A and B are shown apart, each in its own frame.
Chain A
Amino acid sequence: MLHTVNKSSFERNSLQSCLNTIDDSSVILLIEDGVISAAKNSKSFMLAELATQGRVYALQGDVEARGISSKLADNIKLVDYAGFVDLVIENGTAVSWV
């Protein structure tokens, strides 16, 4: 499954709810304000393990818009919109944690 998160983990619990619910083969794509969770900060621990497993993606345009390109946490994979489409195709059912 593909899980998209579009809220900052500083503002909403969307990412936490997603993490509490996903199975071992799911991947997460951070979009819109969700990319704030892709930056190195006091919430980075939430995604560190999954990122190590190569299961955390962030949408490049949203990362660049928020000026955090140089501050990404380790092992976060950047994708463009075409990459977003690929993730949807590859991972079956998609869930939006809005």
Chain B
Amino acid sequence: MAIKKFMYLNRRAPYGTVYALESLEVVLIAAAFDQDVSLAFMDDGVYQLVEGQKTDGIGMKNFSKTFHALGDYDINQFFVSAESLEERGLSVDDLMPLVWEDEDDDWAEKPSIKVVPNAELTKIMSEQDVCLSF
């Protein structure tokens, strides 16, 4: 099967709506088909990656932990909008330290998250075969 470039664009905060969770489900499907997958986070979507989510009080599954597993599925391109972070008083230090192991570099752990300006996100988007919005 031909490999296509898939980008998942995440723009909603977690838990208040089901978008964030559904996106993760579909990301895992694409990974199972060995596609070239990247994730973009902008607007309130950046809250999906915030470190220290604790959901005991609302009786919902804390699915933020799933992001840590994506590196093992060769999903290691997380593009986060710099402007969206700044508007929300957040920086990369407030996000989960997601990493992946680089097979070609003696399995060195490398960061999956890359903070980029919106202009660069535009360019990355234009290089995709498919862009799915959540």
- Confirm or deny: B110 has a beta carbon within 8 angstroms of a beta carbon on chain A: no
Q: Which residues of A contact B62 (CB under 8 A)?
A: 65
Q: Which residues of B contact A70 (CB under 8 A)?
A: 52
Which segment of A5-13, A21-29, A45-53, A87-95 sits at the interface?
A: A5-13
A interface residue numbers (CB < 8 A to B)? 6-8, 10-11, 32-33, 36, 39-44, 60-62, 64-71, 80
- Confirm or deny: B55 has a beta carbon within 8 angstroms of a beta carbon on chain A: yes
Report whether A62 and B58 are in contact in the complex, using a CB–CB cutoff of 8 Å: yes
- Confirm or deny: B60 has a beta carbon within 8 angstroms of a beta carbon on chain A: yes
Determine chain B's interface SS by DSSP, over half rule.
loop
- Confirm or deny: B44 has a beta carbon within 8 angstroms of a beta carbon on chain A: yes
Tell me how far the C-beta of A4 lies from the nearest C-beta in chain B, rounded to whole angstroms. Answer: 13
Q: Among residues 1 to 27 in chain B, which have CB atoms less than 8 Å away from a CB atom of chain A? A: 12-17
Rounded to whole angstroms, the CA-CA distance of A44 and B52 in the bound complex is 21
Q: Among residues 75 to 91 in chain B, which have CB atoms less than 8 Å away from a CB atom of chain A? A: 86-90
Report whether A42 and B88 are in contact in the complex, using a CB–CB cutoff of 8 Å: yes
Other A-B contacts than A10-B44, A11-B12, A67-B51, 4 sampled, CB-CB below 8 A, are A8-B13, A61-B55, A65-B54, A65-B55
